[in-house]
Structure 1
Amino acid sequence: MYITPFHNTFNVKRMTTWAALLCSTALLAVTPYAHAEEAAEALEADDIALEEVVVTGKPVTYANNATDKVMLDQTAPAASVLSAIDNLPGIFISEGGTFGSDDWSTTISIRGFNVGLSEQQIGMTIDGLPNGNSNYGGGSKANRYIDSENMARAEVSQGTSDIASPSHEALGGTINFVTNNPTEESGMRAGISVGNNNAQRYFFRYDTGEIMQNTRAYISYSHTYNDAWIGNEGNTERDHISAKFVTELENWTLTGRFSWDDAAEDNYQRISIDQFIQNPDWDRLTDTITGIPYVDQAYRPSWSTLRTNYFTYLRAAYEGDGFKAEISPYFHSQNGRGDWVPPYLVNVNGGTTTRPSGSRSLDSGPNTLFGGSFDSTYTYVDAAGTQLSPFDNCTARLTFPYGGGGAANNPACFPVGSNPVGSYRHTHYNKKRIGVTADASAEIGENNTVRAGLWWERADRDEGRDWHKIIDPRSSQEFDNAAYWRQYERNFITNTFMVYAEDTLEIGDLVLNGGLRKFIVSLTRTDTFGIENQFKKDSNSKILFTAGALYNATEDLEVFAGFSQNFAAIKDSVIEKGPSSVGANLDGETADNFDIGFRYGNDWLQANITAYYIKFNNRIVSIPIGDSVNGIDFINQNQNVFENVGGVESKGLEASVSADVTDHWNIYSSLTINDSVYTQTVSNVVKDNKVALSPEFLMVGTLSYANDGMRGGVSAKHVGKRWGNFDNTDRLASYTVVDMWVGYSMEMAGINNIDLSLNVNNLTDKRYLGGGTPGGYFIGSGRQVMATVTVGF
């Protein structure tokens, strides 16, 4: 029924969609192609006030793209930095929250690989340093590290990435977010933004200019707030501080950066296709307390993500005659919590009221039970606090949420005057990472460069869960500060060591390179309560090979081909439940990536096209054991085991084209055609089925204008139909989202400049299903409007 994406390109429906987009946006504006390293140097030299579009595509042997000024202008100040890369070929970003303000509902897809609640298969770095995974429980995506005003660009290496990329989850490539440098001149900037859904943002940055003849620095602060765009309850609040310095000596450049980010986010919920058809404006979370705990488990303000992240690094880079080297030690700390409200209290088997010596002192009281196991639950008590059971043969049922609950959840099945009970469940996340990257390259003769380096990191992560009694579920979800049950507390140590070497040879217009890389990863799980034995698991890679070729056919045209073996180590989330959930022969995941393409660039036209093939092996899958819990598994009753089962095969095409139509108008278009299928049948995954939630067709068109302080543009992105679940019975509809922006920057007496801007995302207020997990999908954010005034002193 479904033909290959290459043939799909030419069917009438796809061609009609493409033509309509091109016409409606007057054909479109691109990331200009950077023909040489000068583009990156120009970006670094003036990251704050770029006036011209600078594009993407370094002259390397693998596919890569980077954001330009137009893409940054399209992004509202309050938006997540992730949204800036959405127009690049091969990239699919879906954010369910206002301006991307909910990490829970954020998903990323590249070439059949995904980052979301259930998978972390794409590497992410900040100024070339690892982000510490992108998962919900203990991970941190780039939006936790960078404000949009402080981002110079984002560099995307789809599939094959730089051999030095410090990530052990980069099966589908790496996204590197680059912060801008302090300015040469001293100055201050202050911005205020307002938008719908009560969105507010304040931003301040002070640049020192040159101090001590060779040093520049800045410090910035931002505060962001917005209400949920669905319903009338729930909000997001974020505070962020960043500081950076650059010191330039004769042969050395010293760079240091610090960021602090504190976010409190109320979440959005996944829904089915049928629920979306029934009401596309509601994700089935509620706005009011009904006094019935089973219904109130869906109260949005109790679905919360709380995270505080600190990240800092120092970098020393040396460049001498034929030799380059740099070393970058870094430190990251995260503290956080995830909240839910189970509609019952738990009866616990065993446990102790004596706090184990190794556990953290979190919200405990004299009656707090540590450890033990689940026995049963109860939902109603009498006036004396005695647990009640529902009437025999009571047939009254609630119908919401999750298809409705049984008699034990319905107040009609209990005596008049019975009191409901409920829990407020906290999952605590604490993580500290310390690491270092080092890289050196030397020219051996005129045409040969040898490069080698390493990455070392120690990650120390704690995760614990406690249950608090809700004081009076009839009126609110306020809870006892002291937990009645500390269910578990675990510590995970992950030690990572990566070493690599690469040789690059230039023969006339031909560049050849080849390299080797190896990961040595060890994981240790410790039960902090001292109940379970310590568990260790190694996840080392084999020697991984990379190879590539680049041919400069003319001054304007280069042809490239690349191959790399990528590796994703076993994550500590796989060993959370101990050895019983880990297959005896479980190994890390691997992917073989092949790229071939060309890049073309002259004074007014830039284009690139890449064809790729990927074989993803040893895919780690959680295989259920026994029956599953209906609704949310609050207690972790579901049993599963992780095994390596087959993988994914992907092939496709990525392309972009940019043209400077006049001195002031630019058009850009990008195209992605992807075919990703499973290679083995296991559990609910079926061989030859399309990969769930992997886009098969993406197209972007942008028209932009810039002249004498005035800028503006319109951009449209079309997402084709996708299969949503493993068995390919959910077919998500295609959709097109249009963004618009306009801005004007001018000088005024007494100040350096004043900048006015207006950003409108999802201009037509399109309703659609974006990312999610197989079978459950987040509603794409509705129209968001933000106006900003920025004053420079």
Structure 2
Amino acid sequence: MSSTALAAPTTERNVSKTIHGNGAVAQPALKAERVNVVGRALPGGVTNTTPGGGLMPVQTVPRLQSGVTRDFIAKQSPTTNTLSLLQMTPGAVVGSADPLGLADHTSISVRGMNTSEIGMIFEGMPAGDPLYGIADTSEWADTENIGQVDIAQGSSDITAPSYFAVGGQITETLRNPSHRMGGELGLSGGTHATNKDFMRLDTGEIGHSGVYAFVSGSYTRNNNWRGPGTNRRYHVDAKAMKEWGLGNRIAAVFSWNTVDEAPTRYISLSQFETQGRSYNYTGSYTPGSTSYYRLFQYQRSSMMISAPSHFRLSRNLTADLTPYYQWMSGAVPSATTLSPGNIYYGNQYAGAIGFPTLVNGRAPVVANSGSNSYTAGFNGNLTLHTGINTLRVGYWYGNLTKSSLYDYYGVSRSGQILDGTINTQSGDVLATRNFHFMQQTHAFYVEDTLALLQDRLHITGGFREVLVQRSGTNELPGATYRWGQNGAEPLPRLEVSYKINPQHQIFFNAMTSFHAPASDVPYFDAFSQATGRISTRGRNDLKDEYAISEEIGYRYNGLFTASVGFFNYNFTNRQISSSVYVDGALTTNFINAGGQTTRGAQVEIGLRPWHHFSPYVSGQYLHATIDNNLAVGNDLLPTRGKTAIMTPEFTASAGVSYDDGRFFGNAYFNYVDSQYATFMNDESIPAYKTGNVTIGYRAKPVGFLRSPQIQANFINIGDANYLSGIYTARPNARTTRGIYGTSIAGAAPSYYLGGGFAAVVSVSTGF
């Protein structure tokens, strides 16, 4: 465990200062304020300085923004992930199928905007799936290494390297390497045969170079909390950093992850009501079955590298530069059956196929959704400070290439996936998709800030232009081979902040943001495997989601910390992405829901430790309506004026943390109102309540062991049985007559079944 840790929250405003242990203040820099109090920390980086037990770091940016620090993160289960850490913040609705936070299939919606509409930034680089916007936050970093996570609920920073951030921004940073050689060891075990082994080594200063670094590795394993299956995760984090002069800093960050996961089954409302937790994949194989769990177990690997740097070029000029690289590779198998003699590859008859197994005239196979993606980019800006004026100019470039092959593998009579793909009679790999996607993103941004009234009033005007160039090739016979689409979005913004005094701040912002279609599927021709006819014609005229938003807020930072704000959005081309199975393969369903109006208010209050207690409360009221009727086929569903999906009217959280340096613990409660899963508002999931509890004890140093501790986390303490989020949204669940008289059949949405009770006991120590 490091003896030097981030002890105060990270915030942004027009000046930056570093306060050292001796009280000295470094020379002011520009724009981003990072207040780093360097001093002795408790195990896990806990400092007990953040209000609300780590749930309310002080914010000064002119937008509604929340966050969590080590004071909260260190007391959560070591198996949890970034999205789960944010579930107490105002308006955040976390949909998870796993109480331990190990599953990649965790989603978040904020003010009704889902994961694919929120910018994800990890150490200065875009994170998560670079095209689909899936967070995959269990792949980012081990919980023990996360320094701070911020969530801007409705806007993003002008410099953010993201084209998803219509619904806000999540920013995660790692802890800094310790200036002292040492490390941390953590061993955890719990229900569902859970165990996690973690070790981190800090180098201290390497020679006399001024470079400090850490590297960590972990192994995590557990059985699914419901149904069969075992999950394994292997992870490595590393960070090196050098600081010199007045504000110069360069870092190198590396994160590698691989998972072998047996997912649990998503569930419909009727299945939840009749079968509940017993509805899942089967643990044994019956020849021809498409519900055997091993036929859905997938593997995925990823790597992220970034080098966020800050340079002081002169007294008034600074530069921020972040080159980055991301690689992702994986395959998601799904069980299905094919009918021999009636199979097409694109528009060509596949001919006689020698399937290894036939059951009642059908061939059991696995449809394998495989992909490889490579992303490289650079984000940089120059900031000039002259008197009362601060000017920032920057550029972001990103290059993405992705190859997707959805092919098939045979299944033996014992349920084993056989080596070797299924081929057509002519020797081609039988596939429903075989395409290559390419994307280049250019973003130019400029903003200017005036500091008036003795630096109490800040007025910032900014403009960002984002150009997205997409193209691709489709290898399926009969498909349009090559396509291309270019788009550009102008994004002006205005921010105003006024500090009445050091304790009171009011702010206002007016933002524009956009979200490019979060899928490659609609761009490519797709064919019916049974007839060879085109089932979906690829399009190159897909429209970006665009939003105009306003926020007004007030903050107080004194005896306690409080934030209250009101927000308003107007959307056009509202995008909804959900997952469905086509020809047995998992794919993304894309819905353009047209216009939407969203209004609401949020509040959060946190208290710094008072007699070692730190309480916290937050809440949000949300009113979101659909502005138009939804096109379905050649008709329209009468959805105008109905409540938007994924928009619970009320959400609330409350909790209290206790920490006297030896004994510590916390208890938190979370409430989420009911929310619609269809645009016709004919199906919704019920409101739910969950609670988590932590207790722990820190011992005195024993030899070279620095403050060993034991911690127990109890998740979903009441074992609530609930649906935690929407996995597949639908236009309507019941058959409905359209505006023009067509009978439009309904389809059942599917949901995340919230994780049941789990307990994890952890023993850790610094050395």
Q: What TM-score, normalized by structure 1, do the two folds share?
A: 0.82
Aligned position for 2:436: 491
Aligned position for 2:60: 59
Q: Secondary structure at the match of 1:281?
A: helix
Aligned position for 1:586: 542
Equivalent position to 2:647, from 677, 680, 694? 694
In 1: Cα distance, 2:509 partner to 2:588 partner: 42
Q: Secondary structure at the match of 2:569?
A: strand
1:553 aligned to 2:500? yes
Pair 255,623 (structure 1): closer, same or farther in 2 beyond 3 Å:
closer
1:263 aligned to 2:202? no
Aligned position for 1:89: 90
Q: How does 1:62-211 map to 2 (within 5 A)?
A: 62-104=63-105, 106-115=106-115, 120-131=116-127, 133=129, 141-211=136-206
Q: How does 1:405-424 map to 2 (within 5 A)?
A: 421-424=363-366
Please identify, of 33-42 and 258-267, the stretch whose mean Cα deviation from structure 2 is larger.
Answer: 33-42
> Contact 2:242–2:249 (CA<8 Å) still a contact in 1?
yes
Shift of 1:165: 1.1
Q: How does 1:10-409 map to 2 (within 5 A)?
A: 40-42=34-36, 48-54=44-50, 55-104=56-105, 106-115=106-115, 120-131=116-127, 133=129, 141-213=136-208, 214-231=210-227, 233-251=228-246, 252-291=248-287, 293=288, 296-319=289-312, 320-347=314-341, 373=348
> Contact 2:518–2:577 (CA<8 Å) still a contact in 1?
no
Please identify, of 505-514 and 724-733, the stretch whose mean Cα deviation from structure 2 is larger.
Answer: 724-733
Shift of 1:646: 1.8
> Contact 1:424–1:477 (CA<8 Å) still a contact in 2?
no
Equivalent position to 2:695, from 732, 742, 745? 742
* Gap runs ≥5 in structure 2: 1-7, 18-32, 51-55, 424-428, 527-535, 730-748
In 1: Cα distance, 2:348 partner to 2:621 partner: 49
> Contact 2:99–2:716 (CA<8 Å) still a contact in 1?
no
In 2: Cα distance, 1:140 partner to 1:660 partner: 31
In 2: Cα distance, 1:311 partner to 1:64 partner: 26
> Contact 2:339–2:361 (CA<8 Å) still a contact in 1?
no
Pair 478,592 (structure 1): closer, same or farther in 2 beyond 3 Å:
same
Shift of 1:81: 2.2
* Gap runs ≥5 in structure 1: 1-30, 352-370, 388-410, 412-417, 625-630
> Contact 2:664–2:695 (CA<8 Å) still a contact in 1?
yes
1:465 aligned to 2:413? no
Shift of 1:102: 2.1
| AA aligned opposite 2:613 | W
Please identify, of 327-336 and 481-490, the stretch whose mean Cα deviation from structure 2 is larger.
Answer: 481-490
Aligned position for 1:565: 512
Pair 419,35 (structure 1): closer, same or farther in 2 beyond 3 Å:
closer
In 2: Cα distance, 1:32 partner to 1:220 partner: 24
> Contact 1:306–1:337 (CA<8 Å) still a contact in 2?
yes
Q: Secondary structure at the match of 2:294?
A: helix
| AA aligned opposite 1:540 | G
In 1: Cα distance, 2:392 partner to 2:673 partner: 42
In 2: Cα distance, 1:768 partner to 1:125 partner: 30
> Contact 2:119–2:163 (CA<8 Å) still a contact in 1?
yes
> Contact 2:45–2:71 (CA<8 Å) still a contact in 1?
no
Aligned position for 1:368: none
Shift of 1:480: 3.7
1:786 aligned to 2:760? yes
| AA aligned opposite 1:308 | S
Q: Count residues in correspondence.
A: 690
Please identify, of 604-613 and 313-322, the stretch whose mean Cα deviation from structure 2 is larger.
Answer: 313-322
Aligned position for 2:751: 777
Pair 152,449 (structure 1): closer, same or farther in 2 beyond 3 Å:
same
In 1: Cα distance, 2:97 partner to 2:11 partner: 33
Equivalent position to 2:709, from 749, 755, 776? 755
In 2: Cα distance, 1:375 partner to 1:122 partner: 42
Please identify, of 487-496 and 675-684, the stretch whose mean Cα deviation from structure 2 is larger.
Answer: 675-684
Pair 477,727 (structure 1): closer, same or farther in 2 beyond 3 Å:
farther
Pair 586,466 (structure 1): closer, same or farther in 2 beyond 3 Å:
closer
| AA aligned opposite 1:558 | Q
Q: Secondary structure at the match of 2:408?
A: strand
| AA aligned opposite 1:86 | Q
1:506 aligned to 2:451? yes
Q: What fraction of aligned residue pairs are identical, expressed as a percent?
A: 22
Equivalent position to 2:595, from 619, 627, 647? 647
Pair 637,257 (structure 1): closer, same or farther in 2 beyond 3 Å:
closer
In 1: Cα distance, 2:127 partner to 2:244 partner: 29
Q: Secondary structure at the match of 1:52?
A: coil
In 1: Cα distance, 2:552 partner to 2:659 partner: 34
Equivalent position to 2:565, from 605, 610, 624? 610
Please identify, of 64-73 and 323-332, the stretch whose mean Cα deviation from structure 2 is larger.
Answer: 64-73
> Contact 1:138–1:429 (CA<8 Å) still a contact in 2?
no
More strand by share: 2
Q: Secondary structure at the match of 1:461?
A: strand
In 2: Cα distance, 1:121 partner to 1:226 partner: 31
In 2: Cα distance, 1:635 partner to 1:376 partner: 20
> Contact 1:74–1:84 (CA<8 Å) still a contact in 2?
no
Q: Secondary structure at the match of 2:35?
A: helix
Pair 374,267 (structure 1): closer, same or farther in 2 beyond 3 Å:
farther
> Contact 1:234–1:301 (CA<8 Å) still a contact in 2?
yes
| AA aligned opposite 1:597 | G
> Contact 1:236–1:263 (CA<8 Å) still a contact in 2?
yes
In 2: Cα distance, 1:280 partner to 1:350 partner: 38
Q: Secondary structure at the match of 2:643?
A: coil
Shift of 1:571: 3.8
> Contact 2:407–2:421 (CA<8 Å) still a contact in 1?
no
Q: What TM-score, normalized by structure 2, do the two folds share?
A: 0.84
Pair 694,546 (structure 1): closer, same or farther in 2 beyond 3 Å:
same
Query: CA offsets per residue over residues 443-492 of structure 1, 9 Å max, x none?
Result: 12x211001111101001000011112122xx323324343343132110
> Contact 1:138–1:431 (CA<8 Å) still a contact in 2?
no
Pair 623,74 (structure 1): closer, same or farther in 2 beyond 3 Å:
closer
Equivalent position to 1:706, from 656, 659, 673? 659
| AA aligned opposite 2:308 | R
Q: Secondary structure at the match of 1:149?
A: helix
| AA aligned opposite 1:663 | H
> Contact 1:500–1:515 (CA<8 Å) still a contact in 2?
yes
Q: Secondary structure at the match of 1:82?
A: helix
